[in-house]
Structure 1
Amino acid sequence: MNQNTKIYGLVLAGGHSRRMGTDKGLLHYHNKPQREFLYEQLQNICDAVFMSIRPEQQAELPRGFRHIVDENMYRGPLNGLLSAHHSFPEAAWLVVACDLPLVNEKILKYLLERRNKKAMATAFATRKTGLPEPLAAIWEPQGLRQAEIYMKTAASSCPRKFLLNVETTLVHPEDDLWVANANEPEEQQRLLAKLNII
């Protein structure tokens, strides 16, 4: 494997946010849309940064944000990640979903410093569950190639199930809240309180 593999950042912002009832990428936790905040957090630590979006989101994206449009070849969040992999197949991807309100540059650096380039991926795993968080992770090129093979035959499109069956380096955060999800309004309010902005 090329030890000089570039690492690109990817903000997964193409979900439909059905449980939240509004686009999670447009929610404000840090005085700006979350997808833009995460994009900026990745810029100082990645070789390039992109936003993963649906085709219909292109018109609303602010100028200056590089993006990759979902190819819609697969189901679930691997759709955006594999679309990015097809655009830059030799890159590793530091991916973060826009439903993680407490993630910031410090937390992303913490993960990056513990990257195992020989694994399929390096992922946060909460101390409570011990399970990989596939959307707060670094996916190596070889891992994405294997994920694509997996998606062609798998009954489930769950990226966590894939990571549980390949060599994945797990990184425990200092606080499980680092990777707490806000998928519903109640979770959003709870995490807003943790940010001390309500």
Structure 2
Amino acid sequence: MQPSKNLFGLVLSGGQSSRMGQDKGLLQYHGVTQRAHLYSLLQQVCERVYLSLRPCQEAELEGDFQYLLDELDVRGPLNGILSALQQHPQAAWLVVACDLPLVNASTLEKLVRERDSSKIATAYATTGSHLPEPLVAIWEPAAFAPALAFTETGKTCPRKFLLHTDIKLIHPADDEELYNANSPEEFAYITQKLHHGQQI
């Protein structure tokens, strides 16, 4: 699949990783850091790719990555998404979080193929669910103004924002592609799964 023009990739790696106890972006599931792995996957489908970082995190970068720093006074991943939309307002953003270790090239290609650019976003949801997964989704430029207004009411949950917005929901080939690893136990489970050749 050729990279899509004006579709930029964003690896969300600016979180505090408090439950994991270490930076989730620096964990290794696939032989390189998770943020480097996702960066490489996004380069296959996006015109440009950036890491989303909180200020001062850029000093710890382990490679030659383009990055964007969080600019807004907003808690959580919505800060990274809004900062990207604000810094490159002409682009749509394919966003992937570092705590999704089973996202693969097919996951991203399906998202790009099934994108509806007339919506605010195109997002995955598990089979039979109407709950969007905002951190493996394409956020269109039109998302910026309503998402910013949403944060100005004191709310910061990207899923709650998408639940009340005009979006397209799609479903993965396998729900495990959306598996969230946020604790040492979940990291161990996925590492063991991949080690035994059960990668989806």
Smaller-chain TM-score range? over 0.9
- The reply on whether 1:39 has 2:73 as its aligned counterpart is no
Which residue of structure 1 aligns with residue 79 of structure 2? Answer: 79
1-side partners of 2:196 and 2:77: how far apart? 29
The answer to whether the 8 A contact 1:102-1:195 is kept is: no
The answer to whether the 8 A contact 1:5-1:92 is kept is: no
Give secondary structure in 1 for the equivalent of 2:46.
coil
The one-letter code sitting in structure 2 at the alignment partner of 1:66 is Q
Give secondary structure in 2 for the equivalent of 1:112.
helix
Pairwise CA RMSD of aligned residues? 1.6
Which residue of structure 2 aligns with residue 25 of structure 1? Answer: 25
1-side partners of 2:88 and 2:73: how far apart? 16
The answer to whether the 8 A contact 1:12-1:98 is kept is: yes
The one-letter code sitting in structure 2 at the alignment partner of 1:132 is P
**Matched length:** 194
Give secondary structure in 2 for the equivalent of 1:102.
coil
Give secondary structure in 1 for the equivalent of 2:99.
coil
Written as runs of structure 1 = structure 2, the 5 A alignment for 1:24-173 is 24-127=24-127, 129-153=129-153, 155-173=154-172
Superposed CA offset, 1:28-56 (max 9, x none): 00001000000000001101000001122
2-side partners of 1:101 and 1:140: how far apart? 24
The answer to whether the 8 A contact 1:7-1:46 is kept is: yes
The answer to whether the 8 A contact 2:93-2:140 is kept is: yes
| Cα deviation, residue 128, structure 1 | 5.1
The answer to whether the 8 A contact 2:86-2:144 is kept is: no
Which residue of structure 2 aligns with residue 10 of structure 1? Answer: 10
Identity over aligned pairs, percent: 51
2-side partners of 1:9 and 1:130: how far apart? 24
2-side partners of 1:143 and 1:58: how far apart? 26
The answer to whether the 8 A contact 2:5-2:47 is kept is: no
2-side partners of 1:124 and 1:63: how far apart? 29
Structure 2: which 5+ residue stretches go unaligned? none
Structure 1: which 5+ residue stretches go unaligned? none
The one-letter code sitting in structure 2 at the alignment partner of 1:146 is P
Give secondary structure in 1 for the equivalent of 2:188.
helix
| Cα deviation, residue 197, structure 1 | 5.0
The answer to whether the 8 A contact 2:5-2:46 is kept is: no
